[in-house]
Amino acid sequence: MTSECIAGLVSVVVPVYNREHMVGKTLDSILCQSYQQVEVVAVNDGSTDNSLAVLMRYAEMHPGKVKVIDQGNAGQVKARNRGLSEAQGEFIAFLDSDDTWEADKLSLQIPLLKGNVGLVYSGINEVDPGGNVIRTILPEPGMRGDIYRYLLVSNRMTGGAVVVSRRALAAVGVFDESFRAAENWDLWIRIARHFEVDYVDRPLVNYLKHPGNMSQDNSRMMQGAWSVLQKHLPGIPDDDGLKASYQEAYARYYYGQGVSLFGQEKYREARSMFYQCWKYMPNYQDTLMRLLRTIIGRRANRMLSMIKRSVKTPSMKL
């Protein structure tokens, strides 16, 4: 981040890669915020389409409000950090180039960044390419204040929903460029270890669901989760509260791996993952049932799946 800081200004970092047909809508949602003290720091990360031309057009239309950085393709994490290096705001927000904000997002969040609060997030709407809401995800009730031990177990917030203070980033650093995924989660954990967290209990972000979402790449996301565990919980903590988080975090990781392998009918490998989950938390979700189902074989599991689907799908009334 630059040494210069403009009080009250929100710098919104937007990494862009081949989003010529989407990024305009993203930028409009930032520039139309009811909170007026906003600058956009858009980083064109080696796009091969006309994304850069779109960004430059916005910079010309909004001089002083849109800053464009053009660099060779280095990946989203490095692009975000490059944007952070040019940010001048007292507050920093993040938005992917295919998502949008509600007009009052910053007006509702910025007033909460006071005292020892270093991060404020919100709920989100998952939307389809037509803008239709698929589902709404709100913050878990009470997941504010000191949530460090809860964040160690799982990420509780989407990147575009978050605003952080410059003070928090100065204390904990920027995104870890060794991560290929889950770099957001890692940063939120580092902030929550030293600062309090708050939220707005409303969906203020429209998160576009499409095949290109990184979250759809299960292998990459699980690799990211493992990186988070190895960085923040490499061994059993001494503190009892953190020990419980450690056990749940590893149980959750192995359970997720087991479910993925089970879905591929790789029952032997799935059994190993569910057994690891059971060792950390014997009663975690339906681990024991899953373990049993890895023993009965493909044919019996397919029959059970058919029965479950038929029970869930009521017959048509004539």
Rounded CA-CA distance 318/315 in Å is: 9
Question: Could you say which of 215, 243, 270 is where a domain stops?
Answer: 215
Rounded CA-CA distance 40/23 in Å is: 12
> Each residue of 54-72: pLDDT tens digit?
999 999 999 999 999 999 9
In a domain, 272, yes or no: yes
**Which pairs from 250-253 meet CB under 8 Å and 24+ separation?**
250/276, 250/277, 250/280, 251/277, 251/280, 251/281, 251/284, 251/287, 252/153, 252/154, 252/277, 252/284, 253/222, 253/225, 253/226, 253/229
Query: Of 95, 131, 75, whose CA–CA distance to 13 is shortest?
Result: 95
Residue tagged 């972000």 (tokens) = 205
Q: What is the pLDDT of residue 215?
A: 56
In a domain, 185, yes or no: yes
Q: Are residues 186 and 58 in the same domain?
A: yes
Q: Are residues 259 and 181 in the same domain?
A: no
Range of the domain at 244: 233-312
In a domain, 23, yes or no: yes
Residue tagged 């967290």 (tokens) = 197
In a domain, 224, yes or no: no
Q: Are residues 176 and 27 in the same domain?
A: yes
142 C-beta neighbours (distance < 10 Å), count: 9
Q: What is the mean pLDDT of residues 154-180?
A: 97
In a domain, 220, yes or no: no
- The total domain count for the chain is 2
Please report, for the domain that includes residue 45, its CATH number: 3.90.550.10
Q: What is the pLDDT of residue 1?
A: 79
In a domain, 288, yes or no: yes
Give yes or no for residue 27 having a pLDDT over 90.
yes
Q: Are residues 201 and 239 in the same domain?
A: no
